[in-house]
Chains A and B, each alone.
Chain A
Amino acid sequence: MSLAEISLGAAVKRQFLFKMKANIDVYSSLMIMQLLAFAISYGDRIRYAVRDEIFLSKVYYYSVDPVIGITIFWGLVTGITVLTKGYTDTDFTFVTNRLSSTLSNILFLAAVGLAGAIMAMLSKNVILLVALFVDKADVLYGSPMTAGDFFLGTAVVFLYVSLACAIGYFIGALVKLNKIFVFLIPALLIGSLMFDAAQDQWPLLFKVYEFYFHEFSLAIFVVKVLASIILCYLASFLILNRMEIRS
């Protein structure tokens, strides 16, 4: 009997397509979370009310920042779930090895991350519709979203979501290595916050946040995020490449 030879590329492609089909539920969770964020954003749209003898001014702010924020969070969760037991075992039901499994996971996360980023940016228009039809806003003040803004925004949100996915994936890999990380990671985060508070210094987590969110040069930002993503996935792969399945 002749043996089938399969290239890594072909295996990754098949697995990627399979995951896109099999994990349609990640979109449900994305939708639910985005709708939730949308509700928060809607509820939070009245920011100021100023009253003097002449005017009672209510200032409405329309923003999808909560939707974008929650999409990034969703990326983290999705990154973790991709490595939960059910998902990895499923990989090995069909043709795979650990490298093709990780590569197809990265592709899958990139694909759904891009979808999430586009959806988050598009939801801007939905909240404008709410302004128009629910709040009867005749005139909106602010900067309209240009095509350039849309593409820049989508790209940046995509990078943030991908970073979150990669961090989630790394957390998932650590947990696969040893269950103790389920407790260790939150403990370390909270511990670091408390330590910094006791030392009366800026929290380390804030510095991490600043590292990405306060980077105003697009080029440096892209380099920082891509480097972090590669680092996370590489570290995850080194852990997962030795992992046993269904043991």
Chain B
Amino acid sequence: MSFTLPFLLIGFLVAVWAVIFIIKKYFPAKATHWLVMIYVSILLLSVAIVMIGMEIKQPFKDGDTVRKVSEPGFQEEIYQAFKEGKDLEPFEKYVAMEKVFPLEPGVSVVKIEKTGKEGLPLTVFIKRNKENSGQIAAKVYSHAFQEVFGYQMTAAFPPPKLKWSKNQLSISAPKVQEVNLYFVNKEFPVHQFREKEKRDTGYTSWAWFVIYLQIPEHIQIEEGDNVFVEYL
């Protein structure tokens, strides 16, 4: 779209210019005529561009499957699944990141800390493995949800970043995400006679992420500030 537009514009202007050139011989136009013509041309051109290149999403309809995600209790479910050792299979689709950090020989203490004070508090589930696998396996489950005025936005919310150095796992929580939402309404004279749409004025947003670590039992764990650790 962004490539074709300039060409479209240039082509259109050339066409307008040609028409003007021909008309000019028979029609002594004045400045006002030109201004009106240019104005109308811009209006018509915009119609063409909008028709070709713009997608406008319809209001969200009830019963759409996507909405299920926002059902209350969803967050509780995954917590429950962790605590009770249930099958984590249904939550696999929310895995945003999976990483393995090798443990160097001789490391006996691992510090988990949050860098920066911004963002959501971190919940870390740690499962102690009896055998020494010589590594830390990390999984990040993440999901964000935003619903504005009845429209569900597919806001991408980046997962926390994990950084491993020697014996320290630094977790940086994602920053506040700037989201621009673009709405277009029907004009009041149209709205006046159309069946009233239910206008939802609600705003809901939530985001959660869970960090799931598997760490060998013999490694001591030191908790940093703003990190809530739950041992499974």
Asked whether any CB of A lies within 8 Å of a CB of B in the complex, the reply is yes
Contact with B along A111-152 (1 / 0, CB 8 A): 000000001011111101101110101011111110001001
User: Across the interface, which residues of B come within 8 angstroms of A128, CB to CB?
Assistant: 46, 50, 54, 184
Contacts of B57 in A (CB 8 A): 139-142
Measured between beta carbons, the chain A residues less than 8 angstroms from B184 are: 61-63, 128, 131, 140-144
The total of chain B residues at the interface (CB under 8 A) is 54
Q: Is the CB of B183 within 8 A of A60?
A: yes
B146-185 Cβ-contact flags toward A at 8 Å (1 or 0): 1011010001010000000000000000001111111111
B51 → A minimal CB distance (Å):
8
Interface: B205 (CB within 8 A): yes
Which has the most chain A C-beta neighbours within 10 Å: B119, B188, B189, B197?
Answer: B189
CB contact list, A166-198 vs B, under 8 A: none
**A218 interfacial by beta-carbon distance below 8 Å:** yes
Which A residues are CB-close (under 8 A) to B188? 65, 68, 213
A143 engages B185 (CB within 8 Å): yes
* B30 contacts chain A at the CB level, 8 A cutoff: yes
Q: How far is the CA of A25 from the CA of B146 in the complex (A)?
A: 50
Q: Is the CB of B179 within 8 A of A24?
A: no
A-side contacts of B46, CB under 8 Å: 122-123, 125-126, 128-129
Main SS at interface, chain B: mixed
B53 at the binding interface (Cβ < 8 Å):
yes
Residue of chain A at shortest CB distance from B186:
A143
| Residues of A with C-beta under 8 A to B42 | 126
* B1 to A, closest residue via Cβ: A132
A5 within 8 Å of B (CB atoms): no
Report if A3 contacts B (CB, 8 A).
no
Q: A59 to B181, alpha carbons, bound, how many Å?
A: 5
Residues of the B chain whose Cβ atoms lie less than 8 Å from the Cβ of A61: 183-185
Inter-chain contact B189/A59, CB cutoff 8 Å = no
State A123–B50 Cα separation when bound (angstroms).
Answer: 11
How far, in Å, is A95 (CB) from chain B's closest CB? Answer: 24
Q: State the CA gap A47–B53 with chains docked (Å).
A: 25
Contacts A57-B205, A68-B189, A145-B190 known; list 11 others, CB within 8 Å: A24-B30, A52-B205, A53-B120, A59-B149, A125-B46, A137-B180, A141-B57, A141-B183, A143-B58, A143-B59, A215-B192
Top 7 A-B residue pairs of the complex, sorted by shortest distance between their CB atoms: A156-B189, A125-B46, A142-B184, A137-B182, A144-B56, A122-B43, A153-B190
Residues of B within 8 A of A (CB): 5, 30, 32-33, 35-36, 39-40, 42-44, 46-47, 49-50, 53-59, 119-120, 144, 146, 148-149, 151, 155, 157, 176-190, 192-194, 197, 203, 205-207
Q: Which residues of A contact B (CB under 8 A)?
A: 24-25, 27-28, 31, 50-65, 68, 119, 121-126, 128-129, 131-133, 135, 137, 139-145, 149, 152-153, 156-157, 160, 213, 215-218, 221
